[in-house]
Amino acid sequence: MGGAISLLAVNFIVAQIFVAAFLIISVKSRSGRAAAWCAAGFGVASLSAICEAVLPFTPMPRLFAVGAFANVLAGFCLLRIGLGVFYSVPAKPPVLASFFIGSVIVDLFIYDLPRGTLLHAFFYQMPFFLIQAWSAAAIIRSRRRSYADGILLCMLALSALYFLVKIYAAVAAGSGATAADYLQSPFALISQALGAMLIVGTGVAMLGVVVKDVVDEARASSEIDALSGLCNRRGFSSRVAPLLRDLSDHDVGTLILADIDRFKLVNDTFGHHTGDEVIREFSHILADVMPHRAVAARVGGEEFAIFLPRVGLADARVVANGIRSELAVKRINGLPEGVAVTASFGVSAVAAGELLDAAMRRADNSLYAAKAGGRNRVECAEPPIRVIASADYHRSGKYRPT
């Protein structure tokens, strides 16, 4: 019995570590609700260790035996809620509550059945199998397919399989004549040892998924401009790079650079608060007008960039003129009636295999020409010369124009 009690203590301590970890994440991440449910799940499930440890010494073994069953199952149900929140595949509360209550009632009914029989083992272990399989199904139904999600799915599937195997193991190894005898049975030691490994494995996998989400959130935040809500220069480069790689010799992309005219004068005359409002309104226009899959960014104080994949120069010019027209008639808070804000645009085609910096330089030259030509206008650069892979590409990994 000492070995089983020791493993119960280990399981309890490990569960508390996961409770603390998920609680910390719950206040540090946008996945806070999901992490809080997971913390509650591990906390409630860990109470079963206390119930099982008390079983051999209590005059009310039925209460603590059913309590151990109910705590584990309730913990798994809470984890299912947390996974549902995280993966946007929620479990219906009435269905989950009915499943839990029905399972506890069944456990009460089978309490007096002979232990170590197939009938008792089947009805005791089946609810655990079903809830773990239900949780695994939530991941399958979601659209997330990262390695971390795959590992968690495997751990939940193994956990479900473990409870199926326990049906046979309880009969083959013997789980004691009564609930109080359980801790002295060979089955208890095996069950607690395997259970400890699965708790650690599943808990680590859940933490991995949530921590990955925290890291992705931090990375995304570092690539977003807080004022405009658009990408910053770093975010623009990272999002445009794969789109450039997708271009073939028959495809083109287009880059638009935009600069708000006389923005310093707006700041100096009407204040930085109004200047910020101009930036926000222009960003909203970009988000509304730009086509699907386009990437927009604020790459400087009043300078913006838009990449349009598989859009030709003529169509990109139409898009730029649409943005220019929208801004010119936009009523902006903080500006007097009749005061309009305008912007100038430089447009450049991007060839397959071309580096983004080269296209940026051409678009910037066109933008300068638009400014010099009177502002509030769109200028297009000459199409780029065809870019092919040279011998230098195999050494440096970069393309060189010919």
pLDDT value of residue 113: 82
- pLDDT value at residue 392: 44
CB 96 within 8 A of CB 80: yes
Q: Looking at 62-66, 79-83, 266-270, 350-354, which range is the least confident one?
A: 350-354
Q: How confident is the model at residue 398 (pLDDT cuts 50, 70, 90)?
A: very low
For helices 93-110 and 118-141, angle between their N-to-C axes, nearest 10 degrees? 170
Q: Does residue 302 have an active-site annotation?
A: yes
Q: Which pLDDT does position 276 carry in this prediction?
A: 95
Instruction: Give me the sheet containing 378-380, strands edge to edge.
Output: 295-298, 303-309, 253-260, 343-350, 378-380
pTM of the model: 0.66
Catalytic residue among 52, 277, 281, 302: 302
Task: Summarize pLDDT for 92-134 with one digit per residue, the tens.
Answer: 999 999 999 999 999 999 988 877 788 888 999 999 999 999 9
Q: Lowest-pLDDT range, 85-94, 128-137, 235-244, 393-402?
A: 393-402
The pLDDT, as a whole number, for residue 384 is 64
CB 363 within 8 A of CB 256: yes
Place of tokens 């010919």: 402
User: Computed over its alpha carbons, how large is the radius of gyration of the chain?
Assistant: 31
State the Cα torsion 174-178-180-183 to the nearest 10°.
Answer: 0
> Is 218's pLDDT higher than 80?
no
CA 224 vs CA 232, 272, 305, 374: distances in Å: 5, 21, 14, 32
Bigger pLDDT: 19 vs 197: 19
Phi-psi region of 374 (alpha: psi -120 to 50; beta: other; left: phi over 0): left
Q: Hey, is 248 helix, strand or coil?
A: coil
The mean per-residue pLDDT over the stretch 317-321 comes to: 94
What pLDDT band is residue 3 in, cutting at 50, 70 and 90? low
State the average pLDDT over residues 220-231.
86
Share of the chain above pLDDT 70, in %: 87
Q: Looking at 21-35, 84-98, 384-398, which range is the least confident one?
A: 384-398
Residue 131's pLDDT is 97
% of the chain beyond a pLDDT of 90? 53
Tokens matching residue 161: 């399989």
Distances (CA, A) of 51 to 13, 65, 110, 113: 15, 7, 18, 20
